[in-house]
């Protein structure tokens, strides 16, 4: 694959790679490093890219595995799940604070989910992947993906209801 062809294939989904890395790693810098590392690995596999029927799914799997390896490594003592992509300057300060509060609660709730539920929820509801793509990425059966997603959504919903019913908890 030539450089221009590689860029046309890989660059359209590099932001998805970054968002997945950001979901799994602590900081913007960690996510940027992980994304850069994955892009370098993809470039080194440049010659064999034609073998993969879905380069995006392959890249997302590489990103997931790379980030999970980082989290498991000894240097990962201070890494945690963080996600803060939401800013909208057209809303009032009050609404912005409410949105940031809700996002903060969502992050805390998602932090407590089992790893598989976090991944499925991220890929389906944040990244908008189709069920078939999630099955391929996570090497799961469709039924398992649907059940995992349902359980994750239910857990998030229950925690949000609890928070709104009882206040800060």
| pLDDT over 50 at 94, yes or no | yes
All CATH 1.10.1740.10 domain ranges of the chain, comma separated, are 1-77
pLDDT, tens only, 95-121: 777 777 777 777 788 888 898 998 898
CB atoms under 10 Å from CB of 49, counted, come to 17
Please state whether the predicted TM-score (pTM) of the whole model is above 0.95: no
CATH number of 93-169: 1.10.10.10
The CA distance from 164 to 169, in Å, is: 9
DSSP, collapsed to helix, strand or coil, labels residue 80 as coil
pLDDT, tens only, 41-56: 888 877 766 666 778 8
Class of domain 1-77: mainly alpha
All CATH 1.10.10.10 domain ranges of the chain, comma separated, are 93-169
Contact criterion met (CB below 8 Å) for 86 and 100 = yes
> Which residue from 89, 6, 85 is spatially nearest to 42, judged by alpha carbons?
6
Q: In the structure encoding, which two tokens stand for residue 76, read together?
A: 């990962």
């Amino acid at each position: 694959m030539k450089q221009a062809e590689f860029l046309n294939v890989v660059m359209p989904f590099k932001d998805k790679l970054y968002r997945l890395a950001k979901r799994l790693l602590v900081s913007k810098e960690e996510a940027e490093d992980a994304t850069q590392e994955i892009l370098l690995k993809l470039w080194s596999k440049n010659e064999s890219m034609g073998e993969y029927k879905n380069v995006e799914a392959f890249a997302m799997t590489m990103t997931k595995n790379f980030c999970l390896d980082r989290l498991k490594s000894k240097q990962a003592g201070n890494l945690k799940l963080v996600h803060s992509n939401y800013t909208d300057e057209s809303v009032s300060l009050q609404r912005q604070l409410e949105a940031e509060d809700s996002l903060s609660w969502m992050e805390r709730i998602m932090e407590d989910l089992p790893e598989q539920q976090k991944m499925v929820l991220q890929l389906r509801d944040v990244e908008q992947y189709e069920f078939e793509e999630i099955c391929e990425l996570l090497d799961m059966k469709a039924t398992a993906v649907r059940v995992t997603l349902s359980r994750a959504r239910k857990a998030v919903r229950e925690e949000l209801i609890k928070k709104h019913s009882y206040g800060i908890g």
